[in-house]
Chain A
Amino acid sequence: MTSTDLFVSPLGRVEGDLDVRVTITDGVVTDAWTEAAMFRGFEMILKGKDPQAGLIVTPRICGICGGSHLYKACYALDTAWKTHVPENATLVRNIAQACETLQSIPRYFYALFAIDLVNKNYAKSKLYDECVRRFAPYVGTAYQKGVVLSNKPVEVYALFGGQWPHSSFMVPGGVMSAPSLADITRATAILNHWKDNWLEAEWLGCSIDRWLEIKTWEDMLEWVEENESQYNSDCGFFIRYCLDVGLHKYGGGVGNYIAPGTYFEPSLYDHPTSEGRNAALIGRSGVYAGGKHFEYDHLRVSEDVSHSYFKGDRPLHPWEGETIPLDVEEARKAGKYSWAKSPRYDVPDLGRIPLEAGPLARRMAAGNPDRAEHQDYDPLFIDMMAKLGPSVFVRQMARMHEGPKYFKWVMDWLSRIDLHGSFYTKPEEPQSGKGFGATEAARGALQDWIVIEDGKIENYQVVTPTAWNIGPRDSNSTNGPIESALIGSPIVDIEDPVELGHVARSFDSCLVCTVHAYDGKTGRELNKFVVNGMV
């Protein structure tokens, strides 16, 4: 039996830089550490600032999901200031954030994930030549269309918000803009162009309605074989390729999921509160753990820093949360290894456990049959998980499944805007208060907790999807979700460990998206394999 330590630094294309340390035994990953190596201290910067500073600062935590940062930062203020949000404003916020996600789906898939599918490890697949033709970076036929057209949905964001990335046009009480007729017609036309030229023509090979008829794994397999157009679409090809090279066999992770949900039914959330949030959601919230659905409750969230470069001796709810960085060298001696904190959720009967955030978590929440009329209900991934279990493949399909779904939602919201109605109600600006705002960035649960005192920010804590997924071990030495997902991955060539890339990237972690990002092991020789050299 051979055991080697493999240290991969940097593992690019997780948006920001992630160092992964794994132990490989007989060609399989047996232990893993994910290390976030960069820290800017945004929560420290926000302390003492104007309450609305989060609308400007938090989008800059992550330029990939900046619109999502704005969305939840705004709801944190809406709940703290007890604002009134006109229905039009809720629709515009929904549209803008969903367009950011529609942008992310192809951009992430082709530019960040699929290019690894052309790795030489797969050269013996009979589908390899076709894979290279489609997915090779810059020159692949599918890469070119997918990446270039990914800029279209955010053109719609710009119509409402002025620009993407990094607008701050959502404010407590509504939005800054009021669209004209031409803004709405143009938005509709841009999205239809994107759907016609990428989503249906390239990705699906069928109408979005045909795709959304799929309710089970068998339906999906039948869909692939139904006709040549679907068989040869990027989606049909991707499914066949994954099954051929085995991406449905590893990368599963903790199997427990968190989704705070996103997008509100406007009439049900004109006075945003954290208590009224779950019922008003269209994109469902929920925790799925130990095979059961639980209602999402933000009070059950805490952050553990036992393996993070921060001071702290117990898990804290973010309203009481602290961000006190330690000297890295000293912290490493104490066994700490990451700038990411470890968010945990207190699940009834299961205790504080790590949960996976992201599209698969959203799909699990959407599979809960107990819902209101306005809420998403979609059993497809409950079925796929029962038959396939979690994997790199299932996680990818969950993400891609959201394209057709969100497209339909956005078109509906656009049609419901009352151009002659109100988009903003000027709020009172109380001198103190506590707020909670959350959303689903493309890559998962994104949440802010704000405490305002004396008209200034007393405490501001951001828990990103990347922190949920990439966080290190907690005080019980329980691995974070990506660490768990890496374990069990087969590594064909330790000189080119593409499987690690697949697993890490299937979480679409924007590492800079951890407010507290990381360090690799400095000074260590490159690709030095230490036999049984466990740390």
Chain B
Amino acid sequence: MSSVLWLQGGACSGNTMSFLNAEEPNVVDLIVDFGLELLWHPSLGLELGANAQKIFWDCARGDRPLDIFVFEGTVIEKDGYDVFAERQMKDWVTDLANAASIVVAIGDCACWGGIPAMEPNPSQSTGLQFHKRDKGGFLGPDWKSKAGLPVINIPGCPSHPDWITQIIVALATGRTADIALDDLHRPQTFFKTFTQTGCTRVQFFDYKQSTVSFGEGTRTGCLFYEFGCRGPMTHSPCNRILWNRQSSKTRAGMPCLGCTEPEFPFFDLNKGTVFKTQKISGVIPKEVPEGADHLTYMAQASAARIAAPQWSKEDMFVV
């Protein structure tokens, strides 16, 4: 039996909605089969007002053991911009993070600030232990929970329900020691691979064949060359563990926005950067796949284009 308290700061509830799409386990299984004791959740909590506040205070003061504190949304640091249960939300975060055995940040906002922390960041939003790629955030770079762990980051905008439920099950079933984190505190079991790993367009990438337009144009080609797809530079299992059990953005024809990386939304969505690959001299992609350099990339690309078979220039995802 693990007790879980889930709160939202500067949040859109997208991670909660994503979580409710889960299967195996679904939210009912988590509670009924895995004995998760969900003390309170903004969408699912039963208690109102005073009764809800008692739960928060009991946890914050250590009168009630709190195994897992889940936080969704940014920590809003500007006074008066996020008041919850009659306190600044950031004060609840301080108390509850320090009272919990393990702290889990769900979604980009809680991990590193996400969209609300974009310039000009009106609410002075930040993540629990990162601000964008810089370690620190609200709790500070060296902060550790009672169990001796930093904040576990499950990024994405939103997080995939499996990334959330499987980590919660791992924590609840005594497999905490098996959760290996990368430099950004993301569980490697999910975030070592690239978004491109398993993408149905990867053969077009191999032969440097571009999608030509949205709509029917996405029946062929790779979205990396013209439409700003970040699949080769982004760590996520979006094409290994499909979304809603059906698809992924890149499979459907939408370029990856890199939403599991701290820089999302990239280039601050400035003029000319949305769904458009950033290029040098109008030809060469400014960013090449992780670990590659421009020279090697260009050499490989020329060879690949020469090698490209006819089928790689035709529609593949046909009626």
For residue A5, CB closer than 8 A to chain B, the reply is no
Selected contact of A174 from candidates B83, B86, B215, CB within 8 Å: B215
The number of residues on chain A lying at the interface, defined by a beta carbon within 8 Å of a beta carbon of chain B, is 104
Q: Which of B174-230 contact A (CB under 8 A)?
A: 213-219
Selected contact of A37 from candidates B40, B84, B121, B219, CB within 8 Å: B84
A180–B319 contact, CB under 8 A?
yes
Q: Which of A1-34 contact B (CB under 8 A)?
A: 7-13, 15-17, 19
B8–A16 contact, CB under 8 A?
yes
B13–A52 contact, CB under 8 A?
no
For residue A377, CB closer than 8 A to chain B, the reply is no
B14–A165 contact, CB under 8 A?
yes
For residue A424, CB closer than 8 A to chain B, the reply is yes
Q: A111-B20, A158-B247, A523-B86 are in contact. Are A45 and B80 (CB under 8 A)?
A: no
In the complex, A171→B21 CA distance in Å?
25
For residue A178, CB closer than 8 A to chain B, the reply is yes
Chain A residues near B114: list those with CB within 8 A.
60
For residue A63, CB closer than 8 A to chain B, the reply is yes
Q: Which of A122-158 contact B (CB under 8 A)?
A: 137-139, 143-144, 147-148, 150-151, 154-155, 157-158
B215–A175 contact, CB under 8 A?
yes
B48–A497 contact, CB under 8 A?
yes
For residue B317, CB closer than 8 A to chain A, the reply is yes
Residue from B11, B15, B32, B119 having most chain A Cβ neighbours under 10 A: B11
Q: A45-B115, A144-B28, A178-B219 are in contact. Are A63 and B14 (CB under 8 A)?
A: yes
For residue B31, CB closer than 8 A to chain A, the reply is yes
The number of residues on chain B lying at the interface, defined by a beta carbon within 8 Å of a beta carbon of chain A, is 94
In the complex, A518→B84 CA distance in Å?
9
Residue from A50, A66, A150, A181 having most chain B Cβ neighbours under 10 A: A50
A158–B271 contact, CB under 8 A?
no
For residue B58, CB closer than 8 A to chain A, the reply is no
Residue from B10, B17, B114, B318 having most chain A Cβ neighbours under 10 A: B17
A422–B216 contact, CB under 8 A?
yes
In the complex, A186→B214 CA distance in Å?
22
Chain A residues near B247: list those with CB within 8 A.
158-159, 162-163
Q: Which of A287-341 contact B (CB under 8 A)?
A: 309, 325, 327-329, 339
For residue B18, CB closer than 8 A to chain A, the reply is yes
For residue B304, CB closer than 8 A to chain A, the reply is no
B122–A325 contact, CB under 8 A?
yes
A165–B158 contact, CB under 8 A?
yes
For residue A64, CB closer than 8 A to chain B, the reply is yes
Which residue of chain A is the closest to B9 with respect to CB atoms?
A: A38
Give a binary string over B268-306; 1 marks a CB under 8 Å from any A CB, 0 the rest.
111111110000000000000000000000000000000
In the complex, A506→B296 CA distance in Å?
60
Determine how close the nearest CB of chain B comes to the CB of A88; give it in whole angstroms.
8
For residue B250, CB closer than 8 A to chain A, the reply is yes
Residue from B12, B14, B243 having most chain A Cβ neighbours under 10 A: B12
A176–B252 contact, CB under 8 A?
yes
In the complex, A327→B317 CA distance in Å?
54
Which residue of chain A is the closest to B80 with respect to CB atoms?
A: A328
A161–B269 contact, CB under 8 A?
no
For residue B49, CB closer than 8 A to chain A, the reply is yes
In the complex, A17→B89 CA distance in Å?
11
In the complex, A174→B17 CA distance in Å?
26
A175–B11 contact, CB under 8 A?
no
A151–B20 contact, CB under 8 A?
yes
Give a binary string over A97-113; 1 marks a CB under 8 Å from any B CB, 0 the rest.
00000000001000110
B42–A177 contact, CB under 8 A?
no
B273–A8 contact, CB under 8 A?
no
Which residue of chain B is the closest to A119 with respect to CB atoms?
A: B46
Q: Which of B113-132 contact A (CB under 8 A)?
A: 114-116, 118-123, 125
A-B pairs with beta carbons under 8 Å apart, 5 shown: A41-B123, A155-B244, A518-B83, A523-B86, A527-B50
Beyond the given A9-B53, A53-B269, A111-B20, could you list 5 further A-B residue pairs with CB under 8 A, ordered by the A residue number?
A9-B84, A40-B122, A107-B20, A162-B253, A163-B238
